[in-house]
Structure 1
Amino acid sequence: MSYTDDGSGFGSGYSIGSKWGWFLALGVLITLLGIYAMVNVVMATIASIYFIAAVMLVAGVGYLIHAFQVRGWENVLYWALGGVLYLIAGIFAFMNPIAASAVLTLVMAVTLIVAGIARLVIGLRMRGSGGTYMILSGIVTALGGVLIAAGWPASSLFVLGLFLSVDLIIQGATLIGLSLALRRLA
């Protein structure tokens, strides 16, 4: 399989199939990191909180920089307040990652419950046109949120890390599968 379009419209001229080994190596690495995160799920939770905290700090600085580039006093206040809130949240998460994981886990549980109920309602409205899968999806999503909420705050020590590890394993396996398909096509 040759991939000749790099998005510029001119083509890059390389064969993506010849790069299957890189995809395989990356897939194996990501899968191993996912397995490591699964074994050390509390550490993975704390690592994910630190990552989120770092993103909030960067966003806070970005908001503050932008605040002094906009026109109008009310706009400056809006952007500056947003930046300060991001900075406070990021600092809080760095200083107390366990409490931050408890807050994020509770937000996740509520979000899953609300999303599950919304899918259930949509599925019930679509019943005649294939809504069964949407109903099933809504039930599973809402049930996941209820289970997380029922175990809260203890669940906050492992839920985020568990989600991270499962995602890493799935992404790694996907890249391994892609690399094998590319190898067959090369």
Structure 2
Amino acid sequence: MAFLTTIGSEIRSELRRNWGWILAAGIVMLLAGILAFGNVLMATVASVYYVGVLMVIGGIAQLVQVFYATGWGRLYWLLGGVLYTLAGILTFFNPLLAASILTLFLGAALVAGGVLRIVLAWRVDPDLGKWWLVAAGVITLLAGLVILFGWPVNSLYILGLLLAIDLMFQGWAAIFLAFAARKGLPE
């Protein structure tokens, strides 16, 4: 427990020392979120390009692994690397199609996650917050259904909208953290 206390005081000390930078980062994220909210189509395209870059990097990493694998492992890494790299490159040629596919996957993932949360919540004791877990599952499920029922039209804006919302919340969280750190966090 003393180890955790030491880590906690080190983090508090670092937060106090860097509160200005945290505030600046929060303001930048908040402004980026507002900018993304002002043009969700461009934010969607930017999100797709970001995912495309990550897929190309992941694909290249898998292709490098081909040289270190043996037997069937080589085929696994080769196929995975080629698919990832090609999918990443295709996002740059048709970002709106990629946005449509990503939005469809997002909606399906939210539906599956919501159903899973609801099912698992039924196993939780009501005294431990069972109904909060059920409510969270229902909200996740409904968010997925809204995305799926609006698909493919909402593919033009849903990813950008989520990016904008995330940037704004992260910005506000960093701003509040900076002010709390400046004021002095309790030990």
Q: Structure 2 length as normaliser, TM-score?
A: 0.88
Identical aligned pairs, as a percentage?
A: 40
- Aligned partner of 1:150 in structure 2 is 149
Q: Which runs of 4+ in 1 moved over 4 A?
A: none
| Separation in 2, partners of 1:158, 1:147 | 13
SS of corresponding position for 1:125: coil
SS of corresponding position for 1:169: helix
- Aligned partner of 2:39 in structure 1 is 40
Higher helix share: 2
| Separation in 2, partners of 1:144, 1:76 | 40
The alignment yields a C-alpha RMSD, in angstroms, of: 1.9
Instruction: Find 2:108's aligned residue among 107, 110, 134.
Output: 110
SS of corresponding position for 2:122: helix
- Aligned partner of 2:119 in structure 1 is 121
| Separation in 2, partners of 1:117, 1:178 | 34
1:16–1:182: 8 Å Cα contact kept in structure 2? yes
| Separation in 1, partners of 2:147, 2:125 | 28
> 1:88-99, aligned counterparts within 5 Å?
88-99=86-97
| Paired positions, count | 176
Write the deviation string for residues 10-42 of structure 1: whole angstroms up to 9, x where unpaired: x8xx75413211111111011000000011101
Q: Which moved more, 1:116-125 or 1:138-147?
A: 116-125
CA offset at residue 69 of structure 1? Answer: 1.6
- Aligned partner of 2:81 in structure 1 is 83
CA offset at residue 52 of structure 1? Answer: 0.5
